[in-house]
A and B are shown apart, each in its own frame.
Chain A
Amino acid sequence: MTDWLSQVKNAKKSCMVQNNLKKVHYDFGNGREMVEEYNTDTNVVTRRAWKLKNGMDAEGEWDIELGDPEVNFNKEQLLFIKESSTQPVVTRRNTRINLEWRIRNLPYPIETYSVVVDEEKKSLVVRTTNKKYYKVLRIPELDRLYLQPVQEAVRITHKFNTLIITYKKPKQLLELEKNVLEEVNKIKPNNYGDMDCKPS
């Protein structure tokens, strides 16, 4: 994998602006597609999703890397198996200086949790002492920079049945995001979305 910034530079990009949201679509070639949503007020990425391609079925879905998961009303899925709505769900929501994971539906007190950096897997491992929850969280932002996660940057808080894990963005990442943002600002937005709509 080549360096992320040059990939972004070489990708076919298009974007559109809706109110204070800027949606950017990247086509990296060989079938890899990504969509990002920027908040134009804060210049922070609020959503990032990858197009999934699976072998047999022609139609792929979106894998949400960042932001709230899309609500799936697809009936076909209901035929099989899914996690109960009372089970923990992980969502990602980054801020300007932090990478953030929110795990909802975790009612246990904060002493229960431990979040440890796994150097080998390059990820964060969430454990509970009561053996109810376990999750390996990959950090795609760091993967792109080939950075090793460090334990010192991890902080956890627990509020309203939600475990919030924050990871302080390293300098290289802040740098990269600045450069990517510059690239994004170069794209000329398509004008649909904010056209004059005059309902009669």
Chain B
Amino acid sequence: MASAAAAKIAEVRETTRVERIGAHSHIRGLGLDESLEARHVSQGMVGQMSARRAIGIVLKMVRDGRIAGRAVLLAGQPGTGKTAIATALAAALGHDTPFTSMAGSEIYSLEMGKTEALTQAIRKSIGVRIKEESEIIEGEVVEVQIERPATGVGTKVGKLILKTTEMETVYDLGGKMIDSILKEKVQSGDVITIDKATGKITRLGRSFARARDYDATGQQTRFVQCPEGELQKRKEVVHTVTLHEIDVINSRTHGFLALFSGDTGEIKPEVREQINGKVAEWREEGKAEMIPGVLFIDEVHMLDIECFSFLNRALENEMAPIVIMATNRGITRIRGTNYKSPHGIPLDLLDRMIIVPTSPYEEKELREILSIRCEEEDCQMSDNALTVLTRISKETSLRYGMQLIMTSSLIARKRKAAEVDVEDIKRAYQLFFDEGRSVQFLKEYQQEFMFNEEDAIEMDTS
């Protein structure tokens, strides 16, 4: 019994681990009003009015879903919010529209070709909404028991007890199911549905019978009736899968387990052709509906000339998604050639794109962003400190400024202060070098470092 209790505690810790603060986790949308005009500060976005308005129009285009294979290039200096805008677009599109985000360097892999990686990325960005009759389990959770071996390694064992108004059943859980139950934070009193074939869990809400469990509940808590009848039902469900997922399921050599391991390898073109035919057939029968999504390629200058020419061709396909690329390069060498081109992208592809520039932030905007980040990172900061931090960000970079938020807040906490003051910022500024000071330091003390020959080969960053 004691071990079970210990397991429960560990489980609670594990579930809280999921919510971490990333560089763009404060972004909840594009911050546009109904007429697609950008609000100055909204949904975590600040400034870049014209770029956001432009992406708002792209958003409209994606939602309409009629235009295939357009490319948009977000071009701007480092730290001007290109990735933020793409993240915002993903948030604005919502769950149902596929949004694939990748970095240009991701396509270089030993396991598959560059074009295969690009094809997979493109097919990941096309959703198919399928109506299908599937077996689901719908009930109120009576109890979740998850036990792990005392050694900490090995398979976990789990039991789930579900009930309806008429019956109650104990289910055995497999490893994947335990993980998704922990991730969804399913607890007793929740009303959930589980798709038996895919193992997907959906929380419908909390049972009315448990409405008095807590004095305070979050606003989002929805109360529902305990389901009636049998636990297991056949229901017509609508689910969205991507073309890539269908490919993987149907590629004989791997089976659908590959979806979880992520190890898909190359998929034969015949399989893809067959899937395309099948999807077209479903569309005609009215069983399926296409949802073209968005493929976002960050650091697009890392692609080489072969990828660019492949993209040229791929964008002409009517199944192609909207491709958004971002780069922070100026006129530079196209990878794989000796030619120079704007943004490191060949002119013929550039010609097919609409280019959205982002510009450096104003001081006022920097201040807004920093204060939003302070809130996101749970850090109280005095007005003066924020002013100093804004100045630092203006002179060095916004990214460096954001790094100082957490560090200075930790320094402030050490002296048991309620909020971060100018002193803490100063201390953090002295402790951590920004890129400019680091370069200067290197220049001053160069002879004391290793490999410091004057004629050292400069790093090739293109």
Q: Give chain A's interface residues, CB within 8 Å of chain B.
A: 54-58, 76-87, 127-128, 131-136
Whether the Cβ atoms of B229 and A136 lie closer than 8 Å is yes
Given contacts A55-B130, A79-B199, contact A84 B171 (CB under 8 A): yes
A71 CB, min distance to chain B CBs, angstroms = 16
Residue of B nearest to A130 (CB): B168
CB–CB B250/A81 < 8 A: no
Q: Which of chain B's residues have a CB closer than 8 A to the CB of A136?
A: 229-230
Question: Looking at the complex, which one of B168, B173, B229 makes contact with A81 (CB distance below 8 Å)?
Answer: B173
Q: Which residues of A contact B369 (CB under 8 A)?
A: none
Q: Given A56-B246, A57-B250, is A79 in contact with B167 using a C-beta cutoff of 8 Å?
A: no
* Binary contact readout B148-182 vs A (1 if CB under 8 angstroms, 0 otherwise): 00000000000110011111111111111100000
Asked if B229 and A134 make an inter-chain contact with CB atoms under 8 angstroms apart, the answer reads yes
Give the residue name and chain of the B residue nearest to A77 (CB): B174
Contacts of B130 in A (CB 8 A): 55-56
A77 to B241, CA, bound (A): 20
Q: How far does the Cβ of A129 sit from chain B's closest Cβ, in whole Å? A: 11
The answer to whether A82 and B167 have CB atoms under 8 Å apart is: no
B208 at the interface (CB under 8 A from A): no
The contact sample of 9 A-B pairs, CB cut-off 8 A, is A55-B130, A56-B246, A79-B260, A80-B196, A81-B174, A81-B199, A87-B169, A131-B165, A131-B167
Say how far A172's CB is from chain B's closest CB, in angstroms. 28
* Chain B 132-144 interface 0/1 with A at a Cβ cutoff of 8 Å (1 = within): 1000010000000
Closest residue of chain A to B134 (Cβ to Cβ) is: A54
When the two chains form their complex, are residues A135 and B287 in contact, meaning their CB atoms are under 8 A apart? Answer: no
Apart from A57-B249, A131-B167, 15 more pairs, CB < 8 Å = A56-B241, A58-B250, A79-B174, A79-B199, A79-B257, A80-B174, A80-B198, A81-B137, A81-B172, A82-B172, A83-B172, A84-B171, A84-B172, A133-B168, A134-B164
* B223 partner residues in chain A, CB cutoff 8 A: none
Residues of A within 8 Å of B163, CB to CB, are 131
- Shortest CB-to-CB span from B198 to chain A, Å, is 8
Q: A5 CB to closest chain B CB, in angstroms?
A: 28
Question: Which of the listed residues A81, A84, A133 has the most CB atoms from chain B within 10 Å of its own CB?
Answer: A81
A78–B174 CB distance below 8 A: yes
Question: Which B residues from 244 to 272 make CB contacts under 8 A with A?
Answer: 246, 249-250, 255-257, 260
Mask: chain B, 42-84; 1 = CB below 8 Å from A; 0 = not: 0000000000000000000000000000000000000000000
Q: How many A-B residue pairs have CB under 8 A?
A: 82
Interface residues of B, Cβ cutoff 8 Å to A: 130, 132, 137, 159-160, 163-177, 194, 196-199, 229-230, 241, 246, 249-250, 255-257, 260, 282, 287
CB distance from A60 to the nearest CB of B (A): 12
In the bound complex, CA of A80 to CA of B166 (Å): 24
| Smallest beta-carbon distance B16→chain A, Å | 24
B181 CB to nearest chain A CB (Å): 9
Identity of the chain B residue whose Cβ is nearest the Cβ of A82 in the assembled complex: B172
Known pairs A56-B249, A134-B230; A76 contacts B256 (CB<8 A): yes
**Residues of A with C-beta under 8 A to B137:** 81
A76 and B259 CA atoms in complex are apart in Å by: 12
Task: Name the contact of A83 in the complex, choosing from B169, B174, B256 (C-beta under 8 A).
Answer: B169
Residue from the list A84, A127, A131 in contact with B159, Cβ < 8 A: A84
* B164 adjacent to A81 (CB under 8 Å): no
* Smallest beta-carbon distance B300→chain A, Å: 33
State the Cβ distance, B227 to closest chain A Cβ, in Å.
11
- Closest residue of chain B to A133 (Cβ to Cβ) is B167
Least Cβ distance of A115 to chain B in Å? 14
Question: Which residue of chain B is the closest to A55 with respect to CB atoms?
Answer: B132
| Chain B contacts for A85, CB-based, 8 A | 172
Q: Which residue of chain A lies nearest to B181 when distances are taken between CB atoms in the complex?
A: A81
- Enumerate chain B residues within 8 angstroms of A86, measured Cβ to Cβ: 170
Contacting residues, chain B, for A84 (C-beta < 8 A)? 159, 169-172
| Interfacial chain B residues near A55, Cβ < 8 Å | 130, 132, 282, 287
The 7 closest A-B pairs by CB, nearest first: A134-B166, A134-B167, A80-B199, A84-B170, A79-B174, A79-B176, A81-B177
